[in-house]
Amino acid sequence: MASKHTLVAVVENRPGVLNRMASLFRRRGFNIESIAVGHSEIPGQSRVTLVVDGNTTIVEQVRKQLDKVIDVIKVTDLTDSEMVDRELALIKVKASSTTRNEIMQIVNIFRANIIDVGFDSVTVEVTGDEDKIDSLCNLLRGFGIKELARTGRIALARGGAGPAAGEKGTSKSAGQSH
């Protein structure tokens, strides 16, 4: 059964790691729907959140292969776990003196923020799940979206579960050769 999978990898902060990870998906014909990378709570390590669409069995095989990539410390599939996930979007919307008030009302309903106002546009910042951001974009499309930037999903397991807790992934021991 094909579905969206959320994979989280903890990696060493070194050049080429992301390229090696993405190459595994490319070789298997998977499209990475989103990828977000940032520093983790451990200096020198980053957290990579990948969202891919595919068959559960094949995604699990790729997850196991990702775990073997040099500089990848641990990979966890959060898909069937309880998780907290968010995305950030910046949306520049056409706005005139007659439409600005209506746009502000829509933005308030979504608990988003207007972070920049120009002569003919406003820039909106919104954080939430994919559905919330899609819904806001659909409403703002009627005014005209000039630019849109989305981070893609970032995710953490709820509670004590997750990459550090040893769920659904394997951890490489310190000093293990690759």
Residue 67: name the closest of 150, 2, 10 by CA.
10
Q: What is the pTM of this model?
A: 0.81
Q: Are 11 and 71 in contact (CB under 8 A)?
A: yes
Q: Where are the alpha helices (DSSP H) in 87-159?
A: 100-109, 130-141
Nearest to 85 by CA among 133, 118, 53, 20: 133
Helix H or strand E segment including 157: strand 154-157
Provide CATH code, domain 2-80. 3.30.70.260
Give the angle subtended at the CA of 65 by the CAs of 61 and 67, to the nearest 5°.
120
Q: What is the CATH number of domain 84-150?
A: 3.30.70.1150
The whole-number pLDDT of residue 86 equals 96
Between CA 81 and CA 116 the distance in angstroms is: 37
Between β-strands 2-12 and 154-157, what pairing exists: parallel, antiparallel or unpaired? unpaired
Please tell me what DSSP assigns to residue 173. Answer: P
In order along its 178 residues, the chain shows pLDDT tens digits of 558 899 999 999 999 999 999 888 888 888 888 999 999 999 999 999 999 888 888 888 888 889 888 899 999 999 988 999 999 999 999 999 999 999 999 999 999 999 999 999 999 999 999 999 999 999 999 999 999 999 999 999 998 755 543 333 444 433 443 3
DSSP-derived pairing of the beta strands 72-77 and 2-12? antiparallel
Q: Give pLDDT, residue 1.
A: 54
Distance CA 154, CA 8 (A): 9
pLDDT tens-digit series, residues 35-59: 999 999 999 999 999 998 888 888 8
49-to-2, 21, 159 alpha-carbon distances in Å: 19, 11, 18
pLDDT (0 to 100) of residue 170: 43
In the prediction, which pLDDT does 178 show?
Answer: 38
Which letter, b or e, does each residue of 38-69 get, where b requires 16 or more Cβ atoms within 10 Å of its Cβ? eebeeeeebbbbbbbebeeeebbebbebbbeb
For the chain, the domains span 2-80, 84-150
Structure tokens, 137: 């974009």
How much is the pLDDT for 57? 86
